[in-house]
Amino acid sequence: MSKLLVVESPAKARTIKKYLGKDFVVMASVGHVKDLPVERMGVDVEHDFRPEYIVVKGKTKVLKDIKAAAKKAEAVFLGPDPDREGEAIAWHIREEIKKDNPHVFRVMFHEITKRAVSDALGRPGDLDMDKVESQQTRRILDRLVGYELSPLLWKKVMRGLSAGRVQSVAVRLVVEREREIQAFVAREYWTIDVDLDGGVSPRFLARLTHIDGKKAEVGAAAEANALVERLRSISPYVLKAVEKKERKKNPPPPFITSKLQQVAFNRLGFSAKRTMAVAQGLYEGVELGEEGAQGLITYMRTDSTRVAADAIEKVRGHIASAFGQDFLPEKPNFFASRKGAQEAHEAIRPTNVDLTPQKVRQHLDRDQSLLYEMIWQRFVASQMRPAVYDQTAFVIECGAYTFRATGSNLRFPGYLSVYGVEEKDEAAGGVDGKNGNGEAGEIVEELPDLHEGARLKLMDVKPEQHFTQPPPRFTEGSLVKELEEKGIGRPSTYATILSTIVDKKYVEKKENRISPTELGFVVTDLLVKSFPKIMDVAFTAGMEERLDEIEEGKTPWLCVMRGFYGDFAKWLKTAQAEMKDLKKEEKPTDIKCERCGGAMVIKWGRNGSFLACSKYPECKNTMEYKTGPDGKVAPVPKEFVDRKCSECGAQMVKRRGRYGEFLSCSRYPDCKHVEPVTTGMACPEGCGGSVVRLRGRGGRSFFGCTSYPKCKFISWYPPIAEKCPDCGSSFLVEKTTKRDGSVVACPKKECGYKRPKPEAAPA
């Protein structure tokens, strides 16, 4: 009889099957096979929060096939991912098949290589029910919060909204950051640099740091100009001190999940979701030609920096042979993991350090190649010697004025030889070349070889005006960093949190920065007022610690559930009675209705707040509005376009809705004719129509013709009014692929013409 191995994904199953041969049947569960029902709560709070698990839609056949295979198998090995979710999947499968086959074992694959798979199957264990209960507790908590808060928001704000125990706190962080930015008042300040010549090349700049022994603070142009005139008129400038020291820059630890997402965003521009999808593929296995399929990295959901002893031994051997003994520390480098990290896992590293990025590049797509190279380089760098800099500082005096210049030369590159120079605060996204409070830092440049007491010639005085900067908006990288530092969520949840709050329209991404929408502000304020504990960062982080304690067997899961739900039920009852009802709320304004002269009021609708006539339903006039810096509300003037309504002949205006811009009759709502906004490109079919962006039933946008249905032109990619030079197609398209990046291509698959898309010119 053969043995049965069940893993999560088909890709992992295909890779492992090639290692095991005919003695094993390898099947994939394709994720969870059972879960709470979608259409109802599925949790019996009256009977110790008993969950109701049902077969996930579309998984009936998968589960049936697994059960049939289990009946015939000598033994069943359950090998879903080595985390809470994987343990829950294994448990659900065991519960379904244990009557058919009692010989059920749990195996864990931290990497998908022939050796690792063989080792895991050679020492099978049992399911970790503490881990199962931790996952179940999280699932029930999230279900209770989501399914009981969301209907409240439907009732008070609008249908279709959702709230989440963790996602709502993440939105709160974004909202609070935006309010810090709105409240920020810029402060003017000046830096004064002197251009000096010591008679030896090169000339250098030194910055004014002290006046009469006190820190130099120059706050206005008049003060700066007076200082410039004073500094030009005095002498001598004398090099009072030369400070020399060695500075070491230690290598970073190998990646954990959060740092992988942060650095992938900053170096590669990958979203957290994209990073995890690519990493999943690298973990599950890639075909490497004659070498066959192999997982290239270890498991990618981890918060531990631990590395297996044999992996350290191999990477040290690689460093010695590839870079030389000078780059190899006497002893391996070890890094501390954060408190509560799951040390059973390793850091994210290549499964075989000898598979360099150059060796595997031809077998990977573009995203896989970029991410694997980054992971490989970071791991190798983590076991190398520090980079060593010779740092020199000049302290210069001229009367009551003190200046400082700093020079830094790389003496030994160490780990930088493989990982490259890190940008300032790389993991967090940086603050656009300035330090945290928006002030310019010290000058670092090459300095001449001078000795103390040297007299310097003043060549120029260079004042520069600055303004303090508000805190930056979050990027995906810096928001993951914030969530990690505050203990919100866990490695497996960061990508889901970010994609959820964007998909639910609570935040939006513009130029890679995340800002709250009006909906995000409104819902956050309502939830903070009615559920201060649920929305409290410390409370949410504390709940993550309780879940960790359940996994470690320190706390019974029912104790956590009872403690949480007792308070939550009270808060919910109070909120149902007291939470502000935005659907019914009307804020008066002093704006008059342009149609009937009635007072306009601010109301809330599915596209946000708007101005409506207070005499509704007799008068159905509505208008967009804006709020000025003084808080005063003013209507947004209608943006008329050079087009007449095809139904009533009135002028058309441009409006904005939930799916972007569109054209509407200026007599709306009396005339409800609407049209999409044209791209300005004539239809390539030559029908006389124009190309417009449209939206299909599933929400996906596409490009079509204004003459539809007479003209059937359609393109899923933005069209370009240019003929294909190879096949003569009447248009080309802009598209982005994993392998080629952004390209201009022919829409005809059989043609294959493509060229790199030119980068936009800088503004």
Active site residues: 299
Question: CB of 472 within 8 A of CB of 429?
Answer: yes
The tokens for 12 are 């992992």
Of all helices (H) and strands (E), which one includes residue 322? helix 309-322
What distance in Å separates the CA atoms of residue 221 and residue 345, rounded to the nearest whole number? 57
Q: Are 519 and 608 in contact (CB under 8 A)?
A: yes
Indicate the pairing of strand 599-605 with strand 608-613. antiparallel
What are phi and psi for residue 78, nearest 5 degrees? -105, 115
> SS3 sequence, 7-62?
ECCHHHHHHHHHHHHHHEEEEECCCCCEECCCCCCCEECCCCCEECCEECCCCHHH
Query: At residue 637, what is the residue type?
Result: P
Reduced to 3 states (helix: H, G, I; strand: E, B; else coil), residue 679 is strand
The tokens of 589 are what? 């304004």
Q: How many CB atoms lie within 10 A of CB 341?
A: 17
Sorted by sequence, the CB contacts under 8 Å of residue 66 that are 6+ apart come out as 4, 6, 27, 29, 33, 93, 96, 97
- Rounded to 5 degrees, φ, ψ at 617 are -90, 0
3-class DSSP assignment, residue 397: strand
Please confirm whether the linkage preceding 684 is cis (ω < 30° from 0). Answer: no
Is 665 within 8 Å of 650 (Cβ atoms)? yes
Number of Cβ atoms within 10 Å of the Cβ of 542: 12
Phi, psi (5° rounding) for residue 393? -125, 135
Cis preceding-peptide flag for 236 (omega within 30 of 0): yes
CB 174 within 8 A of CB 438: no
**65, 101 contact by CB (below 8 A):** no
Length of the chain: 763
- Could you tell me which of 301, 296, 295, 386 has the C-alpha nearest to residue 347? 301
- Name residue, tokens 């009759």: 665
Distance CA 694, CA 665 (A): 18
Three-state helix/strand/coil letters over 126-167 = CCCHHHHHHHHHHHHHHHHHHHHHHHHHHHHCCCCCCCCCCH
